[in-house]
Amino acid sequence: MVSWSKSIAALFMLLMCLATGAAFAQEAKPKPKTRILFLLDASGSMMAKWEDSDRMAVAKNLLSHLVDSLDRYDNVEVALRAYGHQFGRERNDCQDTKLEVPFGKNNAQAIKSKLDAIVPRGNTPITYSLQQAAGDFPEEKSRNVVILITDGLESCGGDPCATSEALQKKRIFLRPFVIGIGIEREHENQLDCIGQYFNAADIKTFEKVLTEIVTQTLSETTVSVELLDAQDRPRETGVNMTFVNALTGEAEYDYVHYLDGKGKTDLLDIDALVPYHLLVNTVPPVLERNLTIKPGKHNVVRVKAPQGQLYLRQDGPSPYRILNTIVRQAGSDKTLNVQTFGNRHKYLAGKYDLEILTMPRIIMRNVEIKSGETNTITIPPPGQLAIPSQVQGYGSVYELHESGAQRWMCNLPEDNSKVTIALQPGKYKLVYRMQTAQSSKFTFVQDFTIRSGATTTVRIFNR
């Protein structure tokens, strides 16, 4: 019992330190309320002897002191749900669970009184208890935490792992904590899928586990993200980063990366109870899966994200008001970005295919972007086709190849053929029939050449 007192005193001091730190933090930025539901196994097996006491007595004693200490937090509320304590095992009641003390302020004494009154009797309906626990949390937004203390496995045929995952995806509660008492190693996988699992092999470990859970739940956790260049130096910055909930796929935090004058990244506050992927929104994006975050500590996440620039420009004046380019990763048919000529844009170091939306389109493959460098792509100005004839009819422009083949480029407006069209240098053909022409044999056909920066005029005649 002496060791119990020392551990409880140490836990109390930890909580006091956390409470003080939380108070100072709240002055700067209010913290969301944390609600902790203790889900206590009160099945018959909890009466089993444990060292110089029994499992239930140990759990009651430590929980009583813990809720007493948590009651000192202004932004923390606790509640107690138990299962397996209302009916004996002979009844095999798979709905034997009850919220004994709901969430509220200053309810530590009520929880301690209920703990004293609970007598282990029945079976272990973990799944049903988790389902019912979903309704124990008030609807107002808060950090909802479940601490499950059990010495047995699901005894009613339910699937507590699937139930826990579903409730986490609905954001009913964050990742639960599971403390297993006397659980055989070969059966631990039936509990560790519910949440973060701790094996309390002895009373001393049980005390340490409770301290660890309190630390994880209430301590502030910070993260610095280092975006590495091609030489693994943390020099990339100015990129939006999204901390994504690895379970729900929802964005939890959006930050724009920052480096100070000394090249150091800033510290970001995150909730350590949420599992994260980190999406670095470069082009293309970089996804760092399943971050390892140590609660209550400062964490450094290093992501390889070397970037260079692509600069698209035209020589001399151009008739294009806006000229866009489709950018794809080399060998891919998926559009990565649409970049406008005259602009610069950052991309991850690598090779890209460009489709410049001139007429005809210019295809450039395996354009290389190097870390910290700018690749400038320059194209000559196009020429122009001018048709001064104001007639109605049906016509098209074709590109002519040296092989003699031709490729369709565009149609002319049917209501008025007077147009000016920007075309890349090369050889072309105009095919046109006036609307008044009564036969295909009156089709107008004219070859012409387009030169860079020059205008070629083609007049349509009725033939």
Provide CATH 2.60.40.1120 ranges for the chain: 221-304, 307-379
Please state, in angstroms and rounded to a whole number, the distance separating the CA atoms of residues 153 and 84: 12
Instruction: Calculate mean pLDDT across residues 30-52.
Output: 93
Over pLDDT 90: what percentage of the chain? 83
Select the more confidently predicted residue: 416 or 214. 416
Q: Which fold has domain 221-304?
A: Immunoglobulin-like (2.60.40)
Residue 187 backbone dihedrals phi, psi, to 5 degrees:
-105, 0
Q: Which fold has domain 383-457?
A: Immunoglobulin-like (2.60.40)
CATH superfamily of this structure's domain 307-379 = Carboxypeptidase-like, regulatory domain (2.60.40.1120)
For residue 51, what is the DSSP state? T
* pLDDT tens, position by position, 48-81: 999 999 999 999 999 999 998 898 888 999 999 9
What pLDDT does residue 145 have? 96
Q: Mention every residue, 6+ apart, whose C-beta is less than 8 A from residue 170.
A: 134
Tokens standing for residue 269: 């506050």
> Which residue, among 445, 401, 450, 400, has the nearest Cα to 421 in the 3D structure?
450
* pLDDT tens, position by position, 187-227: 899 999 999 999 999 999 999 999 889 888 999 999 999 99
* pLDDT tens, position by position, 262-300: 999 999 999 999 999 999 999 999 999 999 999 999 999
Say whether pLDDT at 163 is over 80. Answer: yes
Provide CATH 3.40.50.410 ranges for the chain: 2-218
What pLDDT does residue 17 have? 52
Provide CATH 2.60.40.180 ranges for the chain: 383-457
> Which residue, among 159, 163, 133, has the nearest Cα to 146 in the 3D structure?
133
What pLDDT does residue 214 have? 87
What pLDDT does residue 28 have? 46
pTM for this model (two decimals): 0.82
* pLDDT tens, position by position, 302-342: 999 999 999 999 887 788 889 999 999 999 999 999 999 99
Q: Which fold has domain 2-218?
A: Rossmann fold (3.40.50)
Say whether pLDDT at 20 is over 80. Answer: no
Please state, in angstroms and rounded to a whole number, the distance separating the CA atoms of residues 382 and 314: 9
